[in-house]
Structure 1
Amino acid sequence: MNRWKKEFSFILALLIVALLTACGSNGEETNNEQASAETEASEELTIAQINWAENIAVTNMWKVILEDKGYDVTLSLLDMGVTMEALETSELDVSLEIWLPVQDANYLETYEDTINFSESTWFDNAKVGLVVPTYLEDVNSVEDLNEHAELFDGNIVGFDSGAGTMEVTEQLIEDYNLDFELQPSSEPAMLTAIGQAIENEEPIVSPLWSPHSVFSNYDLKFLDDPQNTFGGVEKIHHATRLDFADDYPQISEWFNNWKMDDEEIGELIDYVESAEDPLDGAEKWIDENEELIGEWVK
């Protein structure tokens, strides 16, 4: 009997030790998971901002979304070339706007081994090309430009020199043997020039893209591109530094869930541009689209 009691006591002690170890392990795992989530949420991250209407809109939108989740987000105003270099050196965490397969193909080719370009896309119906005011009835194709070169003083009014679309436009000038020069400036300066030309019903030709709020402000038309230099439908991706997904797995998942259509991005741009502070416009749009945001951030 005493031997049985000793064996029972020994077995009971083993069970208690096993139970305490399991509880301690589960508790430790839970605490580690909580600590990991808290650490991720407390860290800072930097998102590139390019001075383009849709980029200003989406960067401010994500700043509001992420800061509501407890992250500390800095927006850094850069051009496209510097953005790619900063992602490669991990001085920057995220760029939210990469146009493929054509417009930013040169950046993909240069940095595909040192930057993570997402397979997921957040906009699937983008278009890029040369535009003119609709009142220029005789200019409907890129092939019409040389015939009317004097009308435009031989100038294509462009924007940021580091943008992929500007490089594609240079290629287009070569492909069509256009007697034109591409004049770099900035997007705001280009849009001002378009607005002034239309106000005076003067000719102007510029590289532009959709989605863009300019098409709701002015009557513009894309010129036909028979050689398809600008490509067909473009899709918009995001890019991150290589180890970003390891450091921010939750945010990486949210970015991959992100999808917008023409109406949604157009409305967001309008809200951001009409607000005194872009963050206020983004916050207003987010408040009115909580269900959509919930599909991304889940």
Structure 2
Amino acid sequence: MRKRKKGLSFISGLLMVGILAACGDADEDANSAQNGTEPDADANNGEITIGQINWAENIAVTNMWKVILEDKGYEVDLTLLDMGATMMALSSDELDASLEIWLPVQDANYLEEYEDTINFSEATWFDNAQVGLVVPEYLEDINSVEDLNANKELFDGQIIGFDPGAGTMEVTEQLIEDYNLDFELLPSTEPAMIAEIGSKIENEEPIVSPLWSPHWVFSDFDLKFLDDPKNTFGETEKIHHATRLGFEDDYPEVSEWFNNWKMDDQEIAELINYVEGAEDPLDGATEWIDENQDLIGEWVN
């Protein structure tokens, strides 16, 4: 089994803890050989570290997989990182998996930079994602990105964004350039951005932000995507997962389960609502899993 490096020198100070070196159990393998059985490849190391990003759908699916895998006997650590640090950690074998890679547009920069040092899955778990700038439905005269400059004062020349380094934030910067928008993109966090959207809508004030679907916010607020004639954000996005090189050899069973994983709009929306509504995300994920055993069985059987 390929060993992962210990330490996080290149991202010291980030929120990453408890990633341990992988090691095999030679005695167990030897006993299996004596008994005439092949050792389970995944049994060499029961610990899997998954990167978690502070986005609603990412929190939902990482907690879902933590529950599923721990029910199967694995030990799963969720490590909170931003997208850039996640890619670096996967590339240096300090992280096993990231469950949310948006392609072909949003995370194309990471694919280009790390395609030789990270395994980006061809399999997708969500096939109908959308990304773009959104405004409240009550802004009836603003329906396209091309309408923004003429209404700059209405928005104070600001696009309210989320995590710096996220692929969608970089694409939004490209969109500002493509449309020659006289706007500034303000980074924050996803929770802060959603709170600002909620505050503005409560007072029927204007706001424009980059957002994506699937996301629970569309069930709580009446928002619309702005037309993007230059197609900077792309059309339909698909969500993939990524793993460190060697993960498929070390954990063939889990790799197969990740590749089998598929969700539709209703399933991911319901999972997000369960996780968001629970005091502990694991409790929400567990409840959703208990009610969707047939679906889970399609992935892990």
Structure-1-length-normalised TM-score: 0.89
The answer on whether the counterparts of 2:130 and 2:213 sit within 8 Å (CA) in structure 1 is: yes
| 2:16 aligned partner | none
1-structure distance, mates of 2:43, 2:110: 34
Deviations 1:166-213 (Å, cap 9, x if unpaired)? 000000000000000000000000000000000010000000000000
| 2:200 aligned partner | 197
2-structure distance, mates of 1:241, 1:74: 15
* SS of residue in 2 equivalent to 1:118: strand
The answer on whether the counterparts of 2:41 and 2:251 sit within 8 Å (CA) in structure 1 is: no
Structure 2: unaligned runs, 5 residues or longer: 1-31
2-structure distance, mates of 1:134, 1:122: 30
Which of the residues 247, 266, 287 maps onto 1:244? 247
Which of the residues 15, 28, 33 maps onto 1:28? 33
| 1:221 aligned partner | 224
1-structure distance, mates of 2:34, 2:130: 48
The 5 Å alignment of 1:1-298 reads 28=33, 31-34=36-39, 36-40=41-45, 43-298=46-301
2-structure distance, mates of 1:29, 1:126: 50
2-structure distance, mates of 1:226, 1:33: 57
* Deviation >6 Å, runs of 4+: none
2-structure distance, mates of 1:31, 1:283: 37
* SS of residue in 2 equivalent to 1:120: strand
CA gap 1:143/1:39 in 2 versus in 1, 3 angstroms: same
CA gap 1:143/1:56 in 2 versus in 1, 3 angstroms: same
**Greater share of residues in helix:** 1
* SS of residue in 2 equivalent to 1:221: strand
How many Å apart are 1:48 and its aligned residue? 0.3
Q: Tell me the amino acid that sits aligned with residue 257 of structure 2.
A: W
Q: Tell me the amino acid that sits aligned with residue 215 of structure 1.
A: F
1-structure distance, mates of 2:104, 2:35: 43
How many Å apart are 1:39 and its aligned residue? 2.8
Structure-2-length-normalised TM-score: 0.88
Deviations 1:98-157 (Å, cap 9, x if unpaired)? 000000000000000000000000000000000000000110000000000000000000
Q: Tell me the amino acid that sits aligned with residue 38 of structure 2.
A: E
How many Å apart are 1:257 and its aligned residue? 0.2
* SS of residue in 1 equivalent to 2:138: coil
2-structure distance, mates of 1:66, 1:109: 30
User: Percent identity at matched positions?
Assistant: 77
* SS of residue in 2 equivalent to 1:123: strand
Deviations 1:214-246 (Å, cap 9, x if unpaired)? 000000000000000000000000000011001
2-structure distance, mates of 1:236, 1:130: 19
CA gap 1:138/1:71 in 2 versus in 1, 3 angstroms: same
2-structure distance, mates of 1:204, 1:90: 40
Instruction: Please report the RMSD computed on the Cα atoms of aligned residues, expressed in angstroms.
Output: 1.2
| 1:16 aligned partner | none
* SS of residue in 1 equivalent to 2:57: helix
How many Å apart are 1:38 and its aligned residue? 3.3
Aligned length: 270
2-structure distance, mates of 1:77, 1:39: 25
CA gap 1:31/1:180 in 2 versus in 1, 3 angstroms: farther
The answer on whether the counterparts of 2:106 and 2:167 sit within 8 Å (CA) in structure 1 is: yes
The answer on whether the counterparts of 2:161 and 2:169 sit within 8 Å (CA) in structure 1 is: yes
* SS of residue in 1 equivalent to 2:234: coil
| 2:6 aligned partner | none
Q: Which has the larger radius of gyration?
A: 1
* SS of residue in 2 equivalent to 1:291: helix
2-structure distance, mates of 1:37, 1:45: 10
Structure 1: unaligned runs, 5 residues or longer: 1-26
CA gap 1:37/1:176 in 2 versus in 1, 3 angstroms: closer
